């Protein structure tokens, strides 16, 4: 079949010819066994690129690091001055660092890709005459796929039936307006953008309905052909990633400046060039926080995984941290704050009509279908009306026996109504349902009484719809259909609040978030529900059209808010795209909304958004923690060198020792910090509105901590007997003081002993302590690492000095708590 695609142009053939060519039947599709055998032959309907991390790119990133170049040069110089052991150890650490980085980054990327796979599209297919749902992966050429508004087209195919069908092909052709689709063949030579008889994978149905006969799947689709072009596109860095990159650059500059200053000083004192170079490399290695960028990526990926476990699937990694800084959540009402399980709670026929007539007209103005298992498929409003009619004895069969559908004007939140036109024994008749004020304005009779009733029901939190019909004269002009309506009555639909919604709203407000409810529903209904949720009246926006929703989002943003917006419809896509975090409904949402969103909720629940925000804040906190942690070591080492070398005190640590601290004994706890549990405080403080990694005060204290580490290490160095003992003591002091400090950086306020347990961290610290002990006390390591065993007094001095920075920081925190400068809600003292 794939071979035939080149010679056969389905867009230029009539449907029957295409069906014959694909050996399928337009009335019932393929049989299941035939579909299975085709699937085995042509392979799954999916693009290969989406499932594997870009291993080549990740590997290249590990090698392309300037630091790696520097270290390779250092290893070469070591060899040149005949220090083969040091040269080999440096080379080994370079390789180890690259391998660790590769494993962690590809793991992170795999986790993110796996999440995307969890969002795999489902498709409806007609096989053997019956309709069923399956993963879009399993579609094969010859399958028949019904298309409806809001769905993504799952494969390339010939449009074999269409009713007001329009498709957004911007992803494929760049055309931003929806294009109409029809059954008529087009010339064989028509370019892709003009093949109105075809619909393509990756595009979305914006209006109408149709039936697609699949002609190509997977890599054979037009999307598959252009997919290669976008393959290398790397997502842009998140704001935090950018800030961390900026920080790394500052440290690199600092390293270069200190390197040249110290190297120059050494040369001036008569040191050899090689010696000066190795000290320079030590300083450069000391200054650069090597694990930082990778650790940020890992933290974000881990966060994405945790969010997924809580029901929020991240489509773009940026969403993880943007969620953490959200200040406003603009939420849908229906389905997010409420269950979207509508039931007809009250029905009031208009004068001269009966309740049965009202329910019949309501069902006839709906497109939902009753399923064999008792469920209802379709829009929840429609489903409620069809079910109510069914329960009063009006079966689908009874309603449709003597009618057939001529036309459908689908529901559209801008129009707030929906109309179906039928041919009946008595002539043509249309049935409309929609917002009462819209229908009343188009009714021929006066409806003041119904209007009052609608108002009253709305006050009880019901969603109120008016139902009307109209017998159509034969000679009627098309755009005049929905006027002169005869009101049949009102129905009031009850939608229970989600059990979790009220508590989640309260939690969000505790966290300083503004919750706004945006709904297309009536203001009175909306306010009643807002009240039940504990929302202030000005947080409720009713009768909002999707276009207004977009403007609302823009308004909030220009007032400086970071806005999370939820949406489910095709028309919500612009607002979702515009939002800082677009949140789509995974259950009720359309594929179009999911495509536009950064986050997809698998349960459509407002509480899940709040949980994701909590997670986002926790991750941003953790990123700050390990940045502070890693920097304190870097600053300490740079301070140590910057004092010892110009003062003529010799070289305080070897390149290898610096590398061991930065890559291993600091690297392991830093990764463990990405899993630090959130403080209970995380949702009890206002959102972080600063655009900085740390507030100025935190920078100052960070510099102070770095100076303390440097000073402690310098003391240790000065108290050592031989040069090697002195270096061993300096190395052990830096490494151990970091392993104590890691418990301090976990909270800027709370005492280290009160922090929640993090087993990963405890394990990482234990391992790091063992590494330090091994470096000092395992004889075979002495020569490669430039260490010696420390005797009891030297060891005691080292350990005591290593505890100085930790003790100082804890005392400082206690002082702050004493003064009441920082209040810790968990442990008020």
Binding-site ranges for ligand ADP (CB under 6 A): 332-334, 379, 381-382, 411, 413, 416-418, 433-435, 463, 465, 519-522
Residue among 458 and 732 whose Cβ is closer to Mg ion: 458
In the bound complex, what is the minimum distance in angstroms from residue 432's beta carbon to ligand ADP? 8
Q: Assess contact for 322 and 616: CB atoms under 8 A.
A: yes
* Closest by Cα among 209, 188, 183, 187 to 198: 183
Task: Determine which one of 137, 143, 332, 495 is catalytic.
Answer: 332
> Both tokens of residue 618?
């926790």
Identity of the residue, 463 or 617, whose beta carbon is nearer to Mg ion in the bound complex: 463
Query: In whole angstroms, how close is the CB of 584 to ligand ADP at the nearest point?
Result: 14
Closest residue by beta carbon to Mg ion: 334
Which of 607, 726, 673 is closest to 329 using CA atoms? 607
382 binds, among ligand ADP, Mg ion, none (CB under 5 to 8 A by kind): ligand ADP
**Is 318 in a helix, a strand, or coil?**
helix
Q: What does DSSP say about strands 563-567 and 328-332: parallel, antiparallel, or unpaired?
A: parallel
**Residue 1: C-alpha distances to residues 4, 32, 209, 374, 534 (Å):** 5, 18, 27, 40, 60
In sequence order, the β-bridge partners of residue 124 are: 133
Q: Name, in order, each residue with C-beta under 8 angstroms of 317's C-beta and a sequence gap of 6 or more.
A: 112, 235, 238, 300, 301, 304
Q: CB nearer to ligand ADP: give 101 or 489.
A: 489
- Quick one: 65 or 451, whose CB is closer to ligand ADP? 451
Number of residues that bind Mg ion (CB under 5 A): 1
Q: At how many degrees (to 10) do helices 66-80 and 273-287 cross?
A: 150
Q: Which does 209 bind (CB under 5 to 8 A by kind): Mg ion, ligand ADP, none?
A: none
Q: State the binding partner of 390 from Mg ion, ligand ADP, none, CB within 5 to 8 A by kind.
A: none
Q: How far apart are CA 178 and CA 161, in angstroms?
A: 18
Residue closer to ligand ADP, measured from CB, 465 or 612: 465
Nearer to ligand ADP, 412 or 484 (CB): 412
Q: Quick one: what does residue 223 bind among Mg ion, ligand ADP, none, with the CB cut-off 5 to 8 Å set by partner type?
A: none
367 neighbors 208 (Cβ within 8 angstroms): no
Say if CB 238 and CB 321 are below 8 A apart.
yes
Stretch that binds Mg ion, among 9-17, 211-219, 331-339, 630-638 (CB under 5 A): 331-339
3-state secondary structure 331-378: EECCCCCECCCCEEEEEEECCCCCHHHHHHHHHHCCCCEECCCCCEEC
Whichever of 545 and 557 has its CB closer to ligand ADP, that residue is 545
* Residue 498 contact, options Mg ion, ligand ADP, none, Cβ 5-8 Å cut-off depending on partner type: none
- Residue 334 or 507 with smaller CB distance to Mg ion: 334
Q: Closest CB to Mg ion among 334 and 366?
A: 334
CA 771 to chain centre: 38
Residue 516, helix vs strand vs coil = strand
> Where are the strands (E) in 128-169, listed by range?
130-135, 144-148, 156-168
The interface region with Mg ion, picked from 117-125, 330-338, 539-547, 631-639 by CB under 5 A, is 330-338
Question: Least distance to Mg ion from the beta carbon of 156, Å?
Answer: 31
Please, what is the minimum distance in Å from the beta carbon of residue 487 to ligand ADP? 15
Residue whose CB is less far from ligand ADP, 382 or 605 = 382
CA distance 301 to 317: 7
Give me the residue whose beta carbon is nearest to ligand ADP.
520
Shortest CB 520 distance to Mg ion, Å: 6
Give the relative orientation of helices 606-644 and 292-309 as an angle to the nearest 10 degrees.
Answer: 160
Rounded CA-CA distance 817/823 in Å is 7
Report DSSP letters for 678-704, one per residue: PPGGGGSS-----SSSS-HHHHHHHHH
Task: Supply the minimum distance, in Å, between the C-beta of residue 742 and ligand ADP.
Answer: 48
Residue 137 bears catalytic tag: no
Long-range contacts of 756-763 (CB under 8 A, 24+ apart): 756/677, 756/679, 757/677, 758/672, 758/673, 758/675, 758/676, 758/677, 760/672, 760/675, 761/669, 761/672, 761/673, 761/675, 761/676, 763/672
- Please give the Cα distance from 510 to 189 (Å, whole number): 62
Least CB distance to ligand ADP at residue 676 (A):
39
Residue 205 bridge partners (DSSP): 167
Could you tell which of Mg ion, ligand ADP, none binds residue 519, using a CB distance below 5 to 8 A set by kind? ligand ADP
**Residue 215 touches which of ligand ADP, Mg ion, none (CB < 5 to 8 A by kind)?**
none
Instruction: Compute the least distance from the CB of residue 312 to ligand ADP, in Å.
Output: 20
The item of Mg ion, ligand ADP, none sharing an interface with residue 379, based on CB under 5 to 8 Å by kind, is: ligand ADP
Of these partners, Mg ion, ligand ADP, none, which one is at the site of residue 418 (CB under 5 to 8 Å by kind)? ligand ADP
152 binds, among ligand ADP, Mg ion, none (CB under 5 to 8 A by kind): none
Q: How far is the CB of 379 from ligand ADP (least distance, A)?
A: 4
CB of 413 to ligand ADP, least distance (A): 3
Interaction pattern, residues 333-372, with Mg ion; x per rule: CB under 5 A: -x--------------------------------------
Contacts 24+ apart (CB under 8 A), 24-28: 24/142, 24/143, 24/144, 24/213, 26/144, 26/160, 26/213, 27/129, 28/126, 28/127, 28/128, 28/129, 28/144
Nearer to ligand ADP among residue 299 and residue 592 (C-beta): 592
We find the least distance from the C-beta atom of residue 386 to ligand ADP, in angstroms, to be 11
Cβ–Cβ < 8 Å for 279, 262: yes
Nearer to ligand ADP, 109 or 516 (CB): 516
Other Cβ atoms closer than 10 A to 712: 26
Minimum Å gap between C-beta 35 and Mg ion is: 35
The CA-to-CA distance between both ends of the chain, in Å, stands at 75
Sheet holding 514-518, edge to edge: 312-314, 599-601, 581-585, 563-567, 328-332, 514-518, 540-541
- Residue positions annotated with a catalytic role: 332
Give the interface with Mg ion as residue ranges (CB under 5 A). Answer: 334
């Amino acid at each position: 079949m794939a071979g035939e695609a080149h010679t056969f142009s389905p867009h230029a053939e009539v449907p029957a010819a295409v069906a014959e060519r694909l050996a399928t039947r337009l009335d019932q599709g393929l049989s299941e066994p035939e579909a299975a055998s085709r699937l085995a032959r042509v392979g799954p309907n999916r693009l290969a690129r989406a499932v594997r991390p870009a291993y080549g790119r990740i590997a290249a990133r590990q090698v392309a690091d300037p630091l790696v170049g520097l270290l390779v040069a250092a290893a070469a110089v070591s060899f040149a001055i005949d220090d083969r052991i040091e040269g080999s150890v440096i080379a080994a650490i370079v390789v180890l660092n690259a391998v660790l980085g590769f494993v962690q980054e590809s793991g992170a990327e795999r986790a993110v890709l796996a999440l995307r796979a969890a969002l795999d599209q489902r498709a409806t297919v007609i096989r053997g005459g019956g309709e069923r749902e399956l993963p879009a992966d399993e579609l094969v050429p010859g399958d028949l796929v019904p298309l409806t508004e809001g769905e993504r087209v799952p494969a390339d195919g010939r449009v074999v039936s269409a009713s007001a069908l329009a498709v957004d092909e911007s992803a494929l052709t760049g055309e931003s307006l929806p294009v109409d689709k029809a059954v008529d063949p087009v010339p064989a030579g028509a370019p892709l953008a003009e093949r109105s008889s075809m619909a393509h994978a990756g595009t979305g149905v914006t209006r109408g309905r149709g039936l697609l006969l699949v002609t190509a799947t997977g890599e054979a689709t037009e999307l598959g052909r252009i997919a290669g072009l976008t393959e290398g596109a790397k997502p842009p860095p998140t704001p935090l990633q950018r800030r961390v990159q900026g920080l790394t650059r500052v440290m690199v500059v600092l390293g270069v400046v200190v390197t040249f200053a110290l190297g120059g000083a050494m040369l001036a004192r008569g040191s050899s060039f090689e010696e000066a170079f190795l000290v320079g490399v030590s300083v450069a290695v000391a200054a650069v926080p090597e694990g930082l960028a990778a650790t940020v990526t890992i933290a974000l990926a881990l966060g994405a995984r945790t969010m997924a476990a809580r029901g929020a699937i991240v489509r773009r990694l940026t969403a993880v941290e943007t969620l953490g800084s959200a200040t406003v959540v603009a939420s849908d009402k229906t389905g997010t704050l409420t269950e979207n399980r509508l039931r007809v709670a009250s029905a009031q026929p208009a004068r001269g009509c009966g309740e049965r007539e009202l329910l019949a007209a309501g069902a006839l103005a709906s497109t939902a279908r009753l399923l064999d298992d008792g469920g209802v498929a379709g829009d929840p409003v429609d489903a409620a009306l069809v079910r109510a009619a069914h329960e009063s004895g009006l079966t689908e069969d009874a309603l449709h026996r003597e009618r057939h559908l001529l036309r459908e004007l689908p529901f559209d939140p801008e129009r707030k109504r929906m109309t179906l036109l039928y041919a009946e024994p008595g002539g043509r008749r249309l049935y409309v349902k929609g917002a009462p004020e819209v229908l009343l304005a188009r009714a021929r009779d006066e409806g003041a009484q119904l209007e009052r009733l609608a108002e009253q029901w709305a006050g009880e939190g019901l969603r109120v719809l008016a139902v009307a019909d109209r017998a159509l004269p034969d000679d009627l002009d098309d755009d005049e259909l929905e006027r002169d309506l005869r009101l049949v009555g009102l129905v009031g639909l009850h939608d229970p609040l989600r059990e979790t919604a009220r508590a989640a709203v309260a939690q969000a407000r505790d966290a300083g978030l503004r919750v706004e409810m945006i709904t297309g529903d009536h203001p009175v209904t909306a306010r009643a529900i807002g009240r039940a949720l504990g929302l202030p009246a000005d947080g409720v926006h009713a009768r909002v059209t999707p276009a207004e929703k977009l403007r609302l989002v823009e308004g909030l943003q220009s007032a400086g808010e970071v806005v999370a917006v939820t949406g489910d419809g095709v028309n919500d896509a612009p607002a979702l795209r515009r939002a800082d975090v677009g949140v789509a409904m995974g259950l009720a949402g359309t594929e179009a909304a999911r495509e536009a969103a950064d986050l997809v909720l698998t349960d459509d629940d407002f509480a899940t958004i709040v949980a994701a925000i909590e997670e986002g804040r926790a991750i941003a906190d953790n990123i700050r923690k390990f940045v502070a942690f890693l920097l304190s070591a870097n600053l300490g080492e740079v301070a140590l060198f910057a004092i010892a070398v110009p003062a003529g005190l010799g070289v305080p640590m070897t390149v290898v020792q610096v590398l061991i601290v930065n890559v291993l004994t600091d690297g392991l706890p830093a990764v463990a910090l990405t899993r630090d549990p959130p403080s209970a405080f995380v949702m009890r403080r206002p959102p972080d509105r600063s655009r900085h990694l740390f507030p100025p005060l935190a920078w100052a204290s960070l510099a102070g901590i770095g100076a303390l580490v440097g000073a402690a290490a310098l003391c240790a160095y000065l108290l050592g007997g031989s040069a090697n003992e002195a270096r061993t003591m300096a190395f052990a002091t830096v490494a151990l003081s970091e392993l104590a400090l890691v418990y301090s950086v976990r909270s800027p306020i709370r005492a280290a002993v009160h922090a929640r347990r993090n087993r990963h961290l405890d394990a990482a610290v234990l391992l790091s302590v063992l590494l330090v002990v091994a470096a000092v006390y395992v004889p075979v390591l002495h020569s490669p690492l430039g260490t010696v065993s420390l005797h009891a007094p030297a060891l005691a001095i080292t350990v005591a000095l290593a505890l100085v920075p930790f003790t100082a920081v804890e005392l400082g925190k206690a002082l702050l708590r004493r003064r009441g400068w920082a209040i810790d809600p968990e442990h008020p003292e």
